[in-house]
A and B are shown apart, each in its own frame.
Chain A
Amino acid sequence: MTKPLVAIRQVSRSFGEFQALKQVSLDIWPREVVCLIGPSGSGKTSLLRCINQLSPVDSGGIWLDGELLGLREAGGQLHRLSEREVARQRLSCGMVFQRFNLFPHMTALENIVEGPVQVQRRKLPEVKAEAMELLRRVGLAEKANAYPSQLSGGQQQRVAIARALAMKPKLVLFDEPTSALDPELVGEVLSVMKELAKSGMTMLVVTHELGFAREVADRVVYMDQGRIVECGRATDVLNSPREPRTRAFLSAEVG
């Protein structure tokens, strides 16, 4: 019996009065691609940020590869982990941001080797070779020494994907990776993600690209108002949604 790579149980998260996540539970299995869809403010991004501990959960728990994230149980109480331990847990989990967030003062190559060298304390020559291989994989080998300001949005996002992969994560989170891109640049990023999915990487993708979800996702999760409304095989949820809210959302997106 395999175990889920990520197990999310009764996770809630509020920002002031606003409840972004209400008792959300979800499993993500190894090598699975899950797409999170839903209207803005539905909690998709909040869920991603909780998994990467960019924002802590208020209640509930998230386990990554069997390890409880951000918390430790002792004496019938939960204790928050130290910053150092949280940083260590984040290593298993790559993140790709909507606005790329490349480091502007470093070249593409320097962006990619920064984590492995500075955080994982690996040797530069070996990491550099791997980084060049990653740049080839995302089709940007000739841009190794370009600064982010010299790259198009699509190229920046592909470097950002390479940067996430350089840490050898067990899971990569994508937060609307194509939403900030000009329409003609979306395709190149999606094709890199497709290739990554094919290679067996476990991926959780917040996206509005329903075509991508239909083609690549194993499962699609529809969220609304902080809850998971519907969750199932991609073709089932996208082609014949059971819930009226999902149906309304999908027809609005396509229409």
Chain B
Amino acid sequence: MSEQQALADGFPDLSSLRVAREAHWGRWLTAAIIVVVLAAIARAFAYGQIEWSYVGRFITAPVIVKGIVNTMVMAVLAMTLGIVLGVIVAISRLSPNPVLRSVASGYTWLFRGTPLILQLLLWFNLALVFPTIGIPSLWSARAVDVMTPIVAALLGLGINQGAYTSEVMRAGLLSVDIGQYEAAQAIGMGRLRALRRIILPQAMRVVIPPLGNEFIGLVKATSLASVIQYPEVLHSAENIYYANSRVIELLIVAGLWYLLVVSLLAPLQMLLERRFARGVARITR
């Protein structure tokens, strides 16, 4: 188009002007207030009845380190059991078989519906109900010998975790397009092979962020196993402060360890997410 447009007057050319930076006075002010409040809290703790030298001394104490190792071992074992149960239950809930479906819903209902600490106590005290357990005429043992703190904690935490994980997994399975099931069937796959090869790998991508959440929750929930004498980090801290009365110092020690472990999980989760994002055009932000 060679013809010059006739433009109306009164609208000056702005193309040479820059957009000025905003001052953001409100942000500066709130940041200053927060710094003052944090400084006040820090000062209060510094002058409070806390012997920080005890925190330093006990943070690497062998009992505490052994405790946090036990915490992590239990969290990993219980999460593994939880994921195995969760996948089985999620698949059962989506099965055409009504018996499987109701058993799976019943499991989720029972173990989500009662407090975790109650479940732990029940497992630990199973010997009160069944003095001996076993398979008739094949194998049997005294329940008190079998239900050690570690076994009771693993069953309590893992089975409870399975109930929550099953819902996360079910959400993941439902997020995969129905066309993917049909394409898998069309190349001759049965239900289970289609789930394993086609559906689950795609569901994992969706499921990892909430599973990371679940795992962080579980790391902290292992502290409940202290009530059944499982020697995790809080249990160790309690044993020490029963002896030396440095309650707050040892709770801070345990708290710092929990923070450290949970902080290490975030980069691990990122690695896993990248692994399962193959072939997916990433939406960043």
Contact = CB atoms under 8 A, between A and B. Distances in A.
A90 B185 contact: yes
Interface string B188-201: 11110100011001
A128 interface: no
A114 to B, nearest CB: 7
B190 A83 contact: yes
Contacts of B177: 101
A167 B187 contact: yes
A149 B185 contact: no
The 3 closest A-B CB pairs, nearest first, are A115-B187, A147-B279, A101-B183
30 contacts: A52-B186, A54-B185, A54-B186, A87-B188, A90-B188, A91-B188, A95-B183, A95-B186, A97-B179, A97-B186, A101-B177, A101-B179, A101-B182, A102-B183, A103-B180, A103-B198, A103-B202, A104-B279, A105-B202, A105-B278, A105-B279, A105-B280, A114-B187, A114-B197, A118-B193, A147-B278, A149-B281, A164-B186, A164-B187, A167-B188
A163 B187 contact: yes
A87 B182 contact: no
B197 A149 contact: no
Interface in A121-141: none
A150 B281 CA distance: 8
Contacts, number: 75
Nearest to B96: A83
Interface residues of B, number: 24
Scoring B179, B182, B280 by chain A CB atoms within 10 A of each residue's CB, the highest score goes to B182
A107 interface: yes
A94 interface: yes
Contacts of A163: 187
A142 to B, nearest CB: 18
Interface in A77-121: 83-84, 87-88, 90-91, 94-95, 97, 99, 101-107, 114-115, 118-120
A106 B279 contact: yes
A97 B281 CA distance: 22
Nearest to A120: B188
B188 A104 contact: no
Contacts of B191: 83
Interface of A: 52, 54, 83-84, 87-88, 90-91, 94-95, 97, 99, 101-107, 114-115, 118-120, 147-150, 163-164, 167
A204 to B, nearest CB: 14
B197 to A, nearest CB: 6
B185 A101 contact: no
Given A105-B278, A107-B279, A118 B197 contact: yes
Contacts of A103: 180, 183-184, 198, 202
A119 B184 CA distance: 10
Contacts of A118: 189, 193, 197
Nearest to B276: A105
A119 B179 contact: no
B201 to A, nearest CB: 5
B281 to A, nearest CB: 4
Given A118-B197, A119-B193, A149 B280 contact: yes
Contacts of A147: 278-280
Interface string B241-279: 000000000000000000000000000000000001011
Nearest to B192: A83
A105 B182 contact: no
Nearest to B202: A105
Contacts of B179: 97, 99, 101
Nearest to B277: A105
A119 B187 contact: yes
Contacts of A52: 186
A118 B281 CA distance: 26
Nearest to B187: A115
Scoring B186, B276, B280 by chain A CB atoms within 10 A of each residue's CB, the highest score goes to B186
Contact of B201 (A90, A91, A105, A167): A105
